[in-house]
């Protein structure tokens, strides 16, 4: 708390987008509605969406101010991991929040991330769907089964110390994110798992807050055979490299 | 230490205890030979139990989906007022 008085915290919210012109507008509105009394900026990393996402972001800049919403586009789809690295280069805050643009992550939880970090001084606060107060909506039985199976496997083999490994709604100290993101090589689901496992191995203080996850496009996050194979490879890779 | 080394260390320790039991024959050797199979079965049961319990207690939040719909309507209204054109979808 005392540290807060000396230097004001600033939160850089990095949101990678691809064809999210409606969702980015909604999420920006909800961020400004729910995040109050803290300094923050939204960094939209758009991978050359053909649907006009960038035009919508420019209009939002007119409404909310260009210093609060930064558009940092890239010419084409280049992947999630590099999107965070790209956004990170332009972040001026001492904390970085990463979240999905599709509204499966609701900005109303941002204050609880910030509060948890201030209370505990944690390096990372990660959203968990599996704790009391959290939850998932829009998954069928098969999707829940794969999720639980994947989680039990990773918990048994990797002992990561967090309950939700593949969640991607997280708050990082900027220096910590910069430190771990360069050593992460995985893509997709495994990327989020590798980030948190590497952070845990490096001894960073990780705290969890419950979040809810609403899958609006039903089955958009379904796991196919190839994703399961990638996941198993990811667990094996983390076993021998961390 | 690589994590896989930790796991291998645990497996080696368990094997050492098992070989010790075989050598000293505290319990009959015919039983001792079956212990690794019991261990594998136990591990499988643990996995199935954890998945089963996790599945039964899987936290869901149908009310959140409704709240989100309200938020979306509210956000759309505000943004239209401000003249933000986000398409028709």
What is residue B89's predicted lDDT score, i.e. its pLDDT?
54
Average pLDDT score, chain A:
91
- pLDDT exceeds cutoff 70 at A1: no
> Which token pair is B63?
């009310």
| Distance set, CA A85 to CA A105, A193, B18, B30, B64 (Å) | 20, 17, 49, 59, 31
As beta bridge partners, residue A210 has: A128
What is residue A216's predicted lDDT score, i.e. its pLDDT?
75
Q: Are A63 and B89 within 8 A, CB to CB? A: no
A170-173 β-sheet, strand order: A69-71, A39-46, A10-17, A95-98, A170-173, A124-128, A206-210
Closest-approach residue (CA) in chain A for B54: A148
Interface of A with B in 52-71 (CB under 8 A): 52, 56, 59-60, 63
What is residue A222's predicted lDDT score, i.e. its pLDDT?
56
Rg of chain B taking only CA atoms, in angstroms: 28
Mean of pLDDT values over A75-88: 90
| A13 near B CB under 8 A | no
Tell me how far apart the alpha carbons of residues B20 and B47 are, in angstroms, rounded to a whole number: 28
Percent of chain A with pLDDT over 70: 95
Q: Are B86 and A241 within 8 A, CB to CB? A: no
Local confidence band at A33 (pLDDT 50, 70, 90 cut-offs): very high
| Distance set, CA A220 to CA A11, A34, A139, A164, A215 (Å) | 29, 26, 9, 19, 7
Mean of pLDDT values over A14-25: 94
Which chain B residues contact residue A201 at CB under 8 A? 3
Sign of dihedral through CA atoms B19, B23, B24, B26? positive
Tell me how far apart the alpha carbons of residues A64 and A28 are, in angstroms, rounded to a whole number: 9
- pLDDT exceeds cutoff 90 at A78: no
Tell me how far apart the alpha carbons of residues A219 and A211 are, in angstroms, rounded to a whole number: 19
Tell me how far apart the alpha carbons of residues A100 and A98 are, in angstroms, rounded to a whole number: 7
Interface of B with A in 36-75 (CB under 8 A): 46-47, 50-51, 54-55, 58-62, 64-65, 68, 71-72, 75
Which among B46, B55, B82 is the nearest to A63, CB-wise?
B82
What is residue A31's predicted lDDT score, i.e. its pLDDT?
97
């Amino acid at each position: 708390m005392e540290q807060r008085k000396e230097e004001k915290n600033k939160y850089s919210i990095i949101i990678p987008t691809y064809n999210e012109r409606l969702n980015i507008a909604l999420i920006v509105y909800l961020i400004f509605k729910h995040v109050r009394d803290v300094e923050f900026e939204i960094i939209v990393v758009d991978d050359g969406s053909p649907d006009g996402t960038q035009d919508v972001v420019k209009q939002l800049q007119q409404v909310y101010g260009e210093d609060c919403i930064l558009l940092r586009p890239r010419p084409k789809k280049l992947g999630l991991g590099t999107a965070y690295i790209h956004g990170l280069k332009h972040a001026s805050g001492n904390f970085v929040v990463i979240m999905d643009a599709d509204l499966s992550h609701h900005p109303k939880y941002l204050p609880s991330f910030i509060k948890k970090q201030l209370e505990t001084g944690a390096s990372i606060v990660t959203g968990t769907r599996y704790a009391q107060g959290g939850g998932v909506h829009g998954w069928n039985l098969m999707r829940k089964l794969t999720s639980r199976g994947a989680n039990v496997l990773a918990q048994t083999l990797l002992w990561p110390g967090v309950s939700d490994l593949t969640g991607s709604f997280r708050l990082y100290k900027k220096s910590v994110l910069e430190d771990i993101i360069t050593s992460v090589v995985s893509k997709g689901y495994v990327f989020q798992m590798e980030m948190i496992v590497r952070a845990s191995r490096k001894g960073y203080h990780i705290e969890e807050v419950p979040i809810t996850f609403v899958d609006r496009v039903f089955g958009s996050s379904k796991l196919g055979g190839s994703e399961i194979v990638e996941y198993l490879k990811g667990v094996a890779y983390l076993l021998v490299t961390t | 230490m690589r994590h896989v080394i930790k796991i291998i260390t645990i497996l080696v320790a368990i094997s050492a205890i098992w070989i010790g039991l075989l050598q000293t024959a505290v319990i009959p050797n015919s039983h001792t030979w079956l212990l690794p199979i019991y261990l594998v079965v136990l591990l499988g049961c643990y996995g199935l139990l954890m998945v089963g319990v996790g599945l039964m207690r899987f936290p869901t939040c149908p009310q959140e989906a409704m709240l989100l719909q309200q938020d979306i309507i509210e956000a759309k209204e505000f943004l239209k007022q401000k003249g933000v054109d986000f398409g028709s979808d």
